[in-house]
Amino acid sequence: MQATSINMIDMVGIGPFITLPLVIGAMNGPQSIIAWLLGAFLAFMDGFVWSELGAAMPLAGGSYQFLNNIYGRKRWGSLFSFLYIWQTIIQAPLVIASGAIGFATYFQYLIPLSSLEQKIISGSVVVVIYLLLNRNIVSVGRVSIFLWVGVVVTMAWLIIGGLTHFNSSLAFTYPEGAFDLNAVFFLGLGNASIKTVYSYLGYYNVCHLGAEIKQPERNIPRSIFISIAGIAILYLLMQISVLGVIPWQEAKDAPFIVSTFFEKIYGKTAANVATIMI
């Protein structure tokens, strides 16, 4: 349970609430759901690799340990593991920063912020995340479950609200030539898929904690595939629900699309509550 929640909370986070309008805009219509399916497919394919390595080498450190053991510590393993750590030093802060910026973006729905205030809020989020992670693995697992429940409740509320106020004429109104398999379609699909793959990232996190997982040969693959399948279903239902309430022409330019969604259905107070939960 904790292994799956650690994966899923990192997969969802603020990501889909920020990338949803970008994905819709990249393909210019509801056909952007194809990008969510493609992203899930790519995550599943990569998940097989992580499952194999994580089950075979359940060690703390994940990729660092995999590279060392596969290529040999006294041969190429030391170089590849060093390069992995080096790129992680650059890449990981960018992922955290993107989430912090997304947090500040949605915070603006509640309180208008200046550019400086947005940066202060974003920086404060990073500090809070650091303090939460600077604990033992049991505490981190409990915090992950708590946050995961909050994410699932928010997504469930969004999906139920969207389906109960669903307008098929909005959700399935496609622009002319939406499914023409030309250069524009594939360029849009590629652009959108970059964002959907980003939204799925995190399904492999359990591999970095392999030494802490009970029955890793069973639970690591299970947590990876349950995470991908569960989040894929949530993302697909999320887009369908949102576009059943907000026209895609409006959704693709919405800065805080989920807050706008709840405001249209339930009013400003409910939108504020949903924004806080996000």
- For position 12, what pLDDT does the model report? 75
- For position 38, what pLDDT does the model report? 95
**Do 219 and 213 meet the contact criterion of CB atoms below 8 Å apart?**
yes
- For position 187, what pLDDT does the model report? 93
> What is the SS3 assignment for 60?
strand
Measuring CA to CA, how many Å separate 167 from each of 160, 162, 164, 240, 242?
A: 13, 9, 9, 10, 10
Closest to 42 measured CA to CA, from 200, 189, 179? 200
Cα 213 from Cα 220, distance rounded (Å): 8
**Do 104 and 18 meet the contact criterion of CB atoms below 8 Å apart?**
no
- For position 5, what pLDDT does the model report? 67
Mean pLDDT by 10 residues, the chain (278 residues): 67 80 90 93 92 84 83 83 86 81 84 84 85 75 74 85 87 84 90 90 80 79 88 91 90 87 88 83
Cα 120 from Cα 113, distance rounded (Å): 10
The phi and psi torsions of 135 (rounded to 5 degrees) equal -135, 175
Question: Using the 8-state DSSP alphabet, how is residue 262 labeled?
Answer: H
User: Residue with structure tokens 């390069």?
Assistant: 83
Q: Is 35 exposed, middle or buried (0-12, 13-18, 19+ CB in 10 A)?
A: buried
- pTM as predicted: 0.83
**Single-letter code of the amino acid located at 256:** F
Closest to 238 measured CA to CA, from 84, 51, 12? 12
> What is the SS3 assignment for 179?
coil
- For position 237, what pLDDT does the model report? 92
- For position 1, what pLDDT does the model report? 60
Cα 69 from Cα 67, distance rounded (Å): 6
Closest to 6 measured CA to CA, from 45, 62, 49, 46? 62
What domains can you pick out in the chain, each with its CATH number? 2-57+94-277 (1.20.1740.10)
- For position 97, what pLDDT does the model report? 82
Cα 83 from Cα 46, distance rounded (Å): 20
- For position 107, what pLDDT does the model report? 85
Question: Using the 8-state DSSP alphabet, how is residue 112 labeled?
Answer: -
